[in-house]
Copies of this chain bind each other. A is one copy, B any other.
């Protein structure tokens, strides 16, 4: 079982990814983002996303009801259905689902983010949270009958309301629930770069044993990504390939070891 995570950047070559998947023998599911599409739609609608900065300095998108509406339109609507259509055009019988459909991915809503408003400390609560459970029987039912699930946010919280979450966390709970051995993560870069501004600084291999050390050496969003990776291996993943989603044959290249291979 392979989990194919398709990044939400605007230069990801989705047709090339789906074309490759049509030739894949192994069982797989797709998890996709749509952040560039969401941001553009929010902008076009005159309701640009707001970013919150916590007192600890972490930034996150403020997921109010309006942002959830925009996410339902961009992630679960346009991007999901166009991916499903591309799959169908290539003979892949895809079924597109958000995490709220059949409670495929259920999580726990965040308690709130502590932010400063001027000099005042305030707790801002939004519709965001962390995934906890997967409806594996439903996914397995679809897989057993030849369907390829194409999953995206929002997910559902403990009160059955829609919430936003990080796709890295979605991949983590899916890997655990489906005992997927391989995760292919297609991004807008050749893989993990030593220097983010230098595409030639690609790190081709990271032994799992080094993940903890590397986590200490990086900051912010990258730190969270390293932690998410480490957890995948603690749960039983045997290989994660972070590879370029912008080129021709992104899946074939990833499986041939191009990009950053962590194992």
Contacts and interface: CB of A to CB of B under 8 A. Distances in A.
Interface string A43-68: 01110000000000000000000000
A69 to B, nearest CB: 6
A60 to B, nearest CB: 21
Interface stretch (A24-32, A96-104, A114-122, A218-226): A96-104
A103 B77 contact: no
Nearest to A135: B93
Contacts of A141: 141, 145
Contacts of A101: 81, 84, 94-97
A81 B75 CA distance: 11
Contacts of A1: none
Interface stretch (A155-163, A170-178, A182-190, A252-260): A155-163
Contact of A161 (B44, B89, B162): B89
